[in-house]
């Protein structure tokens, strides 16, 4: 155990040289004594788990209260030590984070109503102090890393809820590294056969392509430096297994359609050099049409920024480049958590407004939702699946779930626009109302002021719960008005 404590201290000192480590030592001693005699299913001392959680948080270079909360996160729930004691010994800030983790509790699939209630608690706790969510993710990653000791049914349940709840939320909050780790650790337990297949594909393709990618990077770096672009770093990034699995399903398991199995990630000092690097790479190698994506000028809904381009490199082989600044890279890896990275100037615990709006909306929806399976599936669809950003003619960005339609877009702007929607233009072209939209589409809604309301047929293709609710509400009102008009005494 001492070695894990030493590892934690070494990790903290690497990014916070002047840290007051007395509270860290105090937290370790309290956790060690409180969990004394407790063991995990593997037989190891229980305290190893919160210490590994804290190490992961420290590796993310997070502020000390979050790391300390990682050490203490299971103490109020699993021992006799109360939250009041933590507040007294470690202060309000640490206690607030630990309380949030405790409120989340253990999200389990035990019937529909229990699932809904746990989900509601999960997001209300997030809204109260989002730092507790970061600790919960680190806690979940360690639990997933040690699933071998559990019975198969429990392995499957924990992995499934991680795929269906934790990973999509991490994605929505821009926490790319945590999302990928959670998915890959869960993948082998939920889809074991697919996991082995994808793992073999990656091993074979990586062995064949890694040397080629290294040569590409050498040529690219030499040309960039010759042209005056400063290269902070350039690395080949292997695609996460679960992400590759999803993409393979999309392309009928045709690996030749996957261009970013190994993507080259290029970090340069500033935005101007991002665009300079893009031009130099395109001058060096021909870009693949339709594969240039500017997420710097138009960030993804979760705040992700980067330039993506795919080129025909030597011998005509296709290679994807991702170009970003160090700040963009930090935000892409850590998302929400990047807001609480330690620095002398950053001592705030306030939630970034973009993330706060989304978390508040989730808490509101869960508070209001009816306890039924259909509602759960609707929430998963709206909030947990992949997101796209669609643009109004005035340049405003609307955040929608993948495969949303112009009708979903219309209702996202205003109920009246949705109700009176009669047509749409996507990128200047007249388009059917059931057309799936793609990120970056510019959408204009054509309205008819004489239209009485939405068509019930729209329910067959709309994706968002907002659109479905508004259409159903109008349909019920229309039936009610009709009954009042034809039945005597119904008024």
Reply yes or no on whether the pLDDT at 137 is more than 50. Answer: yes
What average pLDDT does the chain have? 83
pLDDT at residue number 185: 96
Residue 131 — very low, low, confident or very high, per pLDDT cuts 50/70/90?
Answer: confident
C-alpha–C-alpha distance, residues 137 and 329, integer Å: 20
DSSP 424-457: EEETTEEE-TTPPP-TT-BEEEEE-TT--S--GG
**Does 108 fall in a domain?**
yes
Give the pLDDT confidence score for residue 424 in this predicted structure.
96
Last residue of a domain, one of 173, 205, 233: 173
Burial profile 373-394: b = 16 or more Cβ within 10 angstroms, e = fewer: eebbebbebbbbeebbbbbeee
Same domain, 111 and 37: yes
pLDDT of residue 436: 94
Instruction: For residues 318 and 395, state if they share a domain.
Output: no
- Whole-number pLDDT of residue 374: 45
Among 99-108, 203-212, 232-241, 410-419, the range scoring the smallest mean pLDDT is 99-108
Task: Tell me whether residue 375 is in a domain.
Answer: no
Name the pLDDT band for 115 (thresholds 50, 70, 90). Answer: low
Higher-confidence residue of 58 and 104: namely 58
Q: Domain boundary at 173, 205, 224, which?
A: 173
Q: Are residues 18 and 159 in the same domain?
A: yes
Q: Could you tell me if 118 and 7 lie in one domain?
A: yes
Percent of the chain with pLDDT over 70: 82
In a domain, 270, yes or no: yes
Asked if residue 375 has pLDDT above 60, the reply is no
- Assign 482 a pLDDT band (cuts: 50, 70, 90): low
For residue 122, what are the contacts with CB-CB under 8 A and spacing of at least 6? Answer: 104, 107, 165
Higher pLDDT, 146 or 2: 146
- Same domain assignment for residues 199 and 143: no
369 confidence band (pLDDT: 50, 70, 90): very low
Distance CA 19, CA 39 (A): 31
The backbone torsions φ and ψ at residue 307, rounded to the nearest 5 degrees and listed phi first, read -100, 130
- Domains contained in the chain, number: 3
pLDDT greater than 70 at residue 92: yes
Question: Could you tell me if 95 and 131 lie in one domain?
Answer: yes
Q: Place 126 in a pLDDT band, splitting at 50, 70 and 90.
A: low
Where is average pLDDT lowest: 69-83, 175-189, 395-409? Answer: 395-409
Q: What is the CATH number of the domain that holds 326?
A: 3.30.460.10
- Model pLDDT, residue 166: 83
* pLDDT tier, 117 (very low <50, low <70, confident <90, very high otherwise): low
* Residues designated as active site: 77-78
Q: What is the mean pLDDT of residues 299-326?
A: 90
Residue 282 lies inside a defined structural domain of this protein: yes
The helix (H) or strand (E) run that includes residue 322 is strand 318-324
Q: Is residue 198 part of a domain?
A: yes
Q: Above pLDDT 90, what percent of the chain?
A: 48
52 and 158 assigned to the same domain: yes
Give per-residue pLDDT as tens, 240-283. 899 889 888 888 877 777 777 788 999 999 999 999 999 999 99
Mean pLDDT, range 115-134, rounded to an integer: 66
Encode pLDDT of 381-405 as tens digits.
455 556 777 888 887 778 788 889 9
pLDDT mean over 122-143: 81
Based on the fold, state whether residues 208 and 76 are members of the same structural domain: no
Q: Both 17 and 165 in a single domain?
A: yes
Residues 205 and 252 in one domain: yes
User: Are 264 and 169 part of one and the same domain?
Assistant: no
Q: Which of 140, 173, 206 is the last residue of a domain?
A: 173
Q: Are residues 424 and 393 in the same domain?
A: yes
Q: Is residue 456 part of a domain?
A: yes
The per-residue pLDDT for 422 is 94
Is position 353 within any domain?
no
pTM: 0.73
Sole residue written with tokens 């009042």: 484
11: CB partners within 8 A, 6+ apart: 55, 58, 59
Angle of helix 465-486 relative to helix 406-413, nearest 10 degrees, comes to: 80
14: domain CATH number is 1.10.3210.10
Would you state the pLDDT for residue 341? 74
Residue 119 has pLDDT above 80, yes or no: no
Whether 305 maps to a domain, the answer reads yes
Backbone CA torsion sign across 291, 295, 299, 300 = positive
For residue 225, what pLDDT is reported? 95
- CATH number for position 452: 3.10.20.30
Q: Where residue 373 falls among pLDDT bands split at 50, 70, 90? A: very low
In terms of residue numbers, what domain contains 261? 193-335
Q: What is the pLDDT of residues 325-363, one digit of tens each?
A: 999 998 888 887 777 877 655 555 555 565 565 566 555
């Amino acid at each position: 155990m001492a070695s894990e404590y030493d590892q934690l201290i070494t990790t903290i000192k690497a990014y916070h040289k002047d840290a007051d480590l007395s509270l860290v030592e105090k937290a370790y001693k309290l956790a060690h004594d409180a969990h004394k005699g407790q063991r995990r299913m593997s037989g190891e001392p229980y305290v190893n788990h919160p210490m590994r959680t804290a190490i992961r948080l420290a590796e993310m270079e997070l502020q000390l209260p979050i790391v300390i909360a990682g050490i203490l996160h299971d103490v109020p729930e699993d021992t006799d030590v109360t939250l009041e004691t933590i507040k007294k010994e470690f202060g309000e800030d640490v206690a607030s984070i630990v309380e949030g983790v405790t409120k989340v509790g253990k999200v389990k699939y035990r019937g529909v109503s229990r699932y809904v209630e746990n989900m509601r608690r999960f997001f209300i706790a997030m809204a109260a102090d989002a730092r507790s969510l970061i600790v919960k993710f680190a806690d979940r990653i360690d639990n997933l890393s040690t699933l071998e000791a559990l019975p198969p049914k429990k392995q499957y349940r924990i992995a499934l809820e991680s795929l269906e709840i934790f990973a999509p939320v991490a994605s929505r909050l821009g926490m790319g590294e945590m999302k990928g780790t959670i998915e890959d650790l869960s993948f082998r337990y939920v889809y074991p056969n697919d996991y082995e297949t994808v793992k073999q594909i990656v091993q074979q393709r990586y062995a064949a392509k890694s040397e080629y990618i290294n040569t590409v990077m050498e040529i690219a770096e030499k040309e960039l430096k010759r042209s005056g672009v400063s290269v902070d770093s350039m690395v080949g990034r292997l695609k996460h297994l679960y992400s590759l699995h999803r993409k393979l399903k999309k392309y009928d398991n045709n690996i030749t359609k996957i261009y970013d199995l190994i993507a080259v990630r290029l970090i340069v000092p500033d935005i101007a050099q991002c665009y300079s690097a893009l031009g130099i790479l395109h001058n060096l190698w021909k870009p693949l049409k339709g594969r240039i994506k500017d997420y710097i000028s138009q960030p993804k809904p979760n705040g992700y920024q980067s330039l993506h381009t795919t080129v025909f490199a030597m011998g005509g082989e296709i290679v994807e480049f991702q170009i970003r600044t160090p700040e963009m890279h930090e935000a892409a890896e850590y998302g929400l958590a990047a807001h609480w990275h330690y620095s002398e100037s950053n001592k705030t615990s306030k939630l970034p407004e973009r993330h706060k709006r989304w978390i508040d909306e989730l808490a509101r929806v869960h508070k209001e939702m009816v306890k039924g399976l259909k509602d759960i599936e609707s929430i998963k669809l709206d909030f947990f699946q992949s997101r796209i950003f669609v643009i109004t003619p005035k340049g405003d960005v609307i955040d929608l779930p993948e495969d949303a339609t112009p009708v979903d877009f219309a209702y996202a702007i205003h109920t009246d626009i949705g109700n009176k929607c009669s047509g749409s233009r996507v990128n200047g072209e007249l388009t059917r109302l059931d057309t799936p939209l793609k990120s970056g589409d510019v959408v204009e809604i054509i309205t008819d002021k004489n239209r009485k309301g939405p068509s019930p047929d729209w329910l067959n293709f709309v994706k968002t719960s907002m659109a479905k609710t508004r259409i159903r509400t109008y349909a019920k009102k229309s039936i009610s008005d009709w009954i009042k008009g034809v039945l005597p005494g119904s008024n």
